[in-house]
Amino acid sequence: MRNLYQVKQDICAIGDRLYKRGYAAGNDGNISFRISENEVVCTPTMISKGFMTPDDLCIVDMNGNQLAGKRKATSEIRLHLTIMKERPEVKSVVHCHPPFATAFGMAREPIPPCALPEIEIHLGEVPIAKYAIPGGQEFADTVLQFVHKTKVVVLANHGTVSWGENPEQAYWYTEMLDAYCHMLILAKTIGNVGYFTKEEEEELLALKKKWGIDDPRFAMKDCDMCSNDVFRDSWKEAGLAHRGFNPPSFKEEKADDQEALIAEITKRVVEALQR
């Protein structure tokens, strides 16, 4: 077991960052860290994440039963435990409400990839899970189809959840995603988002593979790398559709090329017949 007091200090430090970044207003958000096979330290309910002390934190088992703590454990601990059960190597989960990433979840707008190298390398395509009332197992299960393909999920009309080896790493993924979503919205207000070309994206994915960072697009056949193909099967149940951002589709570019070729051939055939 890790040093329990240090784990609690680490969680409180991340809680402070969530609060100061505006990711956890009021008593929003929750953080967890798995300290043994059957024990998880987590934040309590009804407390500001920016003003916690180690003594405020709770310990639950992997079924959500509270083992220790003077405060009641967060009601959304099932979300954390579901991820940890599905991915035993995951030790920490962070759930919060970063405003720009959450805005995409409220708009049910797929987050376009292929616009920032750091996001392509460290996150890749990010899914949006369907809405469910927070706190129950149905809510927790909304992320199951994504947990092996990403490190962070946007929860429709709710917030985000991210995971990693420790609270800081789990927090990083949320911070990176929210910054990216902010940039996308700013670029859109200026008038346009410039996406990578097919060749530029292939270079980034090759670099990612070289560094040993997995990406679902590696295994996809005929993957249109920048058109939100990875999680498209989940769009209908989550109510997602492109409304504000239309990422480039290399398949569409190929179709346009074919149409142009057919038009040119038709034109030449007509001219030949007229002669």
Find out whether 147 and 127 touch, Cβ atoms under 8 Å: no
Burial 66-91 (b: 16+ CB within 10 A, else e): eeebebebbebbbbbbbbbeeeeebb
162, two tokens: 């991210």
Supply the DSSP string of 206-217, one letter for each residue.
HHHHHTT---GG
Find out whether 49 and 11 touch, Cβ atoms under 8 Å: no
* Tally of CB atoms within 10 A around 264: 10
74: left (phi over 0), alpha (psi -120 to 50) or beta: beta
Supply the DSSP string of 85-138, one letter for each residue.
HH-TT--EEEEE--HHHHHHHHHT-PPP-SS-HHHHHHT-S--EEPP--TTSHH
Which among 39, 76, 237, 271 is annotated as catalytic? 76
Determine whether 76 is an active site residue.
yes
Strand intervals (E) in the chain? 30-36, 39-42, 58-60, 66-68, 92-96, 128-129, 152-155, 159-164
Find out whether 96 and 16 touch, Cβ atoms under 8 Å: no
Active-site annotation, residues: 76
